[in-house]
A and B are shown apart, each in its own frame.
Chain A
């Protein structure tokens, strides 16, 4: 158990819908990262927050957005969902940008 929690574990929804994935980092970690794992793209970095502020953006679609709240939990919002958004979404946390990242168990999103 890495100490990073993600909810829900599984999510099944329809095209065009909007979902919110939630992540609670390890106690004391200020940095949160979101990654997408799909069969065709592998593991891709989406976005990073540090102590409530966005710090880095990767291959994140405009339909996707995220935020980190004052209690340091983070949410990833995915809207206008398409079939190709079906993937495992991982959250990772680290004490700072210079420390190793610990991954949560992931949320498996299925878009039908």
Chain B
């Protein structure tokens, strides 16, 4: 079956880069997404990558996709305290857009 895996926790110092990793299993996934959830809030779409791309950069965010290993990563440059949140990786698994989410990685940014 489909499964998306993420490490559960990441601690990073303010100003450093954060790298959040994700592995997925459905090789037919067309789009892969990163969402951010702050305490008590909904999910905010950060960025996404189409499966025929290797990399996408959007300001401080860089997404890398290794299709061979089914590995996705999100790099946040110059991490700030406002980046503290839970980050979810998700894959689109069918033509109707159903998203399969990972368990989320809690990122804690320390001064």
- Tell me the A residues contacting B by CB distance below 8 Å: 2, 4, 31, 33, 35, 42-43, 45, 48, 50, 55-56, 58, 90, 92, 94, 97-106
Contacts and interface: CB of A to CB of B under 8 A. Distances in A.
B65 to A, nearest CB: 16
B44 A56 contact: no
B48 A106 contact: no
A90 B104 CA distance: 16
Contacts of B100: 45
A105 B95 CA distance: 25
A94 B97 CA distance: 9
A112 to B, nearest CB: 20
B101 A102 contact: no
A75 to B, nearest CB: 18
A54 B35 CA distance: 25
- Top-6 shortest CB links A-B: A43-B101, A56-B96, A103-B43, A97-B97, A105-B42, A103-B42
Chain B interface size range? 20 to 34
B95 A97 contact: yes
Interface of B: 31, 33, 35, 41-45, 48, 88, 90, 94-104
Contact of A90 (B42, B95, B98): B42
Given A100-B48, A101-B45, A103-B43, A56 B35 contact: no
B97 A48 contact: yes
Chain A at the B interface: SS class:
strand
Nearest to B94: A56
A106 B96 contact: no
Contacts of B88: 43
A2 B42 CA distance: 9
Nearest to B41: A105
Contacts of A92: 43
B96 A2 contact: no
